[in-house]
């Protein structure tokens, strides 16, 4: 094995994938060289002069590969050279040894795995197509009566069949083994990368939670003193001073909302979910009553179709629908703002549709709006931190669901949500929760 490694130019040792590919190709090339040299005297002995010449050429081509590999900087060129030489040798030998019934048919079809081992998909497909066309041409000619002579004696033919079969098996085993090792290494690297990303995400979420939590107290003091200052000294400062104070107050409020939203986002993934019976009709009723009581949107209306009872956490589903309904009413210029919540039970999933007649958006933003701090408008146009939909996405994903949006500019948006049907409330759910309570398990 160390001998084969020594044949690989040092410049290819750095890239493990390239190194493994060349390693396998060199094994094939050495087998080809050994078989070719072995057949030269055999073919001379049975007066198969053409075959001896082809085998001699084959051995020279095998040696030539090492020269091309060492002196050529482009790896694709050495690969093309290797495959082309095998193709010429195979077709030449098949011509003199029975056409498609030739034992060298094995050699021809071995080019396919070798090319996929060495090349990128596009070039490998080119060579695979070339082999297929070559085979079809030979087969068509033989079917229509072209006489491909068999110049091998029965004994040599049987030996050649045996050696060609072994050669073919070695090629396929070598290729499969190379692929298996490569796949194993890729999987190991992916596991390592996923583990690092998971740890990094956990650290970032922990940092966001701690930082946001620790910022709340001093910011609350700042807002309190701004309010107190406003009450005591409002009449003692000029108009410009009052304007500056209003700017400070507005920015402090925005920071408070931002901190609260970041805290909510960091908690949404790791929140311990309750397992309880949740009537989504009651969830929506609370949201609508809250909107009406605060006079948030005097010209807004929410329509709700009958919704199911599910086994989940009341609070997170209230937060989910609250964010989506608020968005539908907030980003809306209409005189009659309307948000409708519709539900459909499908064969394997629960499908919710939250539709509004608001300002809508272009397709380019369909995915971006679910990312942190993604805003399509300035804070002067619409209040918000750009975190609400990111929280919605986390809530839905934590429940095993999916969320996406469809929209047209100035025609409104539709948020689509699906959940697995397993979250539906049933008597079985009731019994499971009852059993947990009896065991003293916190739910």
Q: Give me the phi and psi of 16, to 5 degrees please.
A: -65, -35
The pLDDT value recorded for residue 443 is 24
The pLDDT value recorded for residue 200 is 66
Q: Cα 159–33–84 angle (5° rounding)?
A: 105
300-357 tens-digit pLDDT: 888 999 999 999 888 888 889 988 998 888 888 777 888 999 999 988 899 999 999 8
Is pLDDT above 70 for 409? Answer: yes
pLDDT tier for residue 439 given thresholds of 50, 70 and 90: very low
At 309 the three-state DSSP class reads strand
pLDDT tier for residue 416 given thresholds of 50, 70 and 90: very high
351-378 tens-digit pLDDT: 999 999 888 888 888 888 888 655 555 4
Quick one: how far is CA 424 from the chain centroid?
Answer: 30
The pLDDT value recorded for residue 441 is 33
CA distance 147 to 366: 65
Beta bridge partner(s), residue 310: 278, 424
First to last CA, the chain: 60
- The angle, 0 to 180 degrees and rounded to 10, between the axes of the packed helices 154-233 and 16-45 is 170
Q: Which of 83-92, 335-344, 356-365, 385-394 has the lowest mean pLDDT?
A: 385-394
349-353's contacts with Cβ under 8 Å and 24+ in sequence apart are 349/418, 349/419, 349/420, 349/421, 350/308, 350/310, 350/418, 350/419, 350/420, 350/421, 350/423, 350/424, 351/416, 351/417, 351/418, 352/416, 352/417, 352/418, 352/419, 353/414, 353/415, 353/416, 353/417
215-240 tens-digit pLDDT: 667 777 877 878 888 777 777 788 78
DSSP summary character for residue 103: T
The pLDDT value recorded for residue 438 is 36
Mean pLDDT throughout 267-283? 75
- The angle, 0 to 180 degrees and rounded to 10, between the axes of the packed helices 75-96 and 16-45 is 30
Of the chain, the percentage scoring pLDDT greater than 90 comes to: 15
CA distance 351 to 418: 5
Give, in order, the Cα–Cα distances in Å from 149 to each of 46, 60, 99, 143: 15, 26, 8, 14
DSSP summary character for residue 422: G
Is pLDDT above 50 for 198? Answer: yes
33-76 tens-digit pLDDT: 888 898 899 899 899 999 999 999 999 998 888 888 887 777 77
From its phi and psi, is residue 273 left (phi > 0), alpha (psi between -120 and 50) or beta?
A: beta
Residue with tokens 């609260």: 260
pLDDT tier for residue 417 given thresholds of 50, 70 and 90: very high
- Sheet bearing 300-304, strands edge to edge: 300-304, 337-345, 349-356, 412-420, 402-408
Instruction: Indicate the fold that domain 272-438 takes in CATH.
Output: Heat Shock Protein 90 (3.30.565)
Q: Cα 386–389–391 angle (5° rounding)?
A: 100
CA distance 66 to 8: 9
Contact indicator for 305, 342 with CB cutoff of 8 Å: yes
Residue with tokens 């033919």: 157
Mean pLDDT throughout 417-434? 73
Question: What does the domain layout of the chain look like in residue ranges?
Answer: 2-194, 198-253, 272-438
Of the chain, the percentage scoring pLDDT greater than 70 comes to: 80
Contact indicator for 283, 314 with CB cutoff of 8 Å: yes
Mean pLDDT throughout 246-267? 69
Handedness of CA 210, 214, 215, 216 (dihedral sign): positive
Is pLDDT above 80 for 85? Answer: yes
The pLDDT value recorded for residue 440 is 35
Q: Cα 432–436–438 angle (5° rounding)?
A: 115
Is pLDDT above 80 for 433? Answer: no
CA distance 62 to 251: 75
The pLDDT value recorded for residue 284 is 92
The pLDDT value recorded for residue 49 is 92
The pLDDT value recorded for residue 113 is 73
Mean pLDDT in the chain? 79
Is pLDDT above 70 for 206? Answer: no
144-175 tens-digit pLDDT: 888 888 888 889 888 888 888 887 777 777 66
Is pLDDT above 60 for 271? Answer: no
């Amino acid at each position: 094995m160390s001998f084969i490694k020594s044949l690989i130019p040092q410049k290819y040792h750095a890239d493990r994938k390239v190194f493994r590919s060349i390693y396998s190709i060199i094994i094939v090339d050495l087998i080809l060289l050994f078989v070719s040299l072995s057949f030269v005297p055999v073919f001379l002995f049975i007066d198969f002069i053409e075959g001896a010449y082809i085998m001699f050429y084959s051995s020279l081509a095998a040696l030539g590969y090492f020269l091309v590999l060492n002196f050529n900087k482009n790896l694709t060129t050495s690969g093309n050279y290797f495959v082309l030489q095998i193709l010429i040798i195979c077709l030449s030998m098949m011509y003199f040894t029975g056409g498609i019934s030739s034992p060298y048919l094995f050699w021809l079809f071995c080019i396919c795995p070798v090319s996929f081992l060495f090349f990128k998909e596009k070039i490998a497909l080119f060579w695979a197509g070339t082999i297929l066309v070559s085979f079809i041409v030979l087969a068509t000619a033989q079917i229509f009566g072209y006489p491909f002579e068999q110049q091998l004696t029965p004994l040599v033919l049987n030996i050649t069949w045996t050696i060609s079969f072994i050669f073919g098996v070695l090629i396929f085993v070598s290729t499969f083994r190379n692929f298996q090792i490569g796949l194993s290494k890729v999987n190991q690297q992916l596991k390592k990368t996923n583990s690092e990303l998971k740890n990094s995400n956990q650290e970032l979420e922990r940092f966001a939670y701690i930082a946001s939590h620790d910022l709340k107290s001093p910011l609350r003091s700042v807002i309190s003193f701004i309010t107190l200052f406003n009450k005591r000294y409002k009449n003692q400062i000029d108009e410009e001073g009052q304007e500056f104070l209003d700017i400070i107050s507005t920015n402090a409020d925005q920071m408070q909302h931002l901190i609260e939203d970041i805290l909510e986002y960091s908690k949404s993934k790791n929140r311990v979910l309750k397992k309880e019976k949740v009537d989504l009709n009651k969830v929506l009723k609370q949201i609508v009553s809250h909107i009406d009581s605060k006079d948030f949107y005097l010209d807004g209306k929410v329509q709700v179709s009958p919704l199911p009872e599910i086994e989940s956490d009341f609070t997170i589903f209230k937060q989910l629908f609250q964010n989506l309904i608020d968005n539908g009413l907030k980003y809306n210029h209409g005189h009659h703002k309307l948000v409708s919540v519709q539900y459909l039970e499908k064969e394997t999933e629960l499908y919710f549709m939250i539709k509004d007649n608001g300002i809508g958006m272009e397709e380019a933003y369909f995915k971006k709006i679910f990312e942190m701090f993604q805003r399509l408008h300035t804070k002067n146009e619409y209040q918000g931190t750009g975190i609400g939909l990111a929280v919605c996405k986390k809530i839905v994903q934590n429940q095993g669901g999916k969320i996406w949006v469809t929209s047209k500019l100035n025609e409104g948006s539709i948020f689509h949500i699906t959940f697995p049907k397993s979250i539906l409330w049933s008597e079985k759910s009731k019994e499971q929760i009852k059993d947990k309570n009896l065991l003293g398990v916190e739910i």
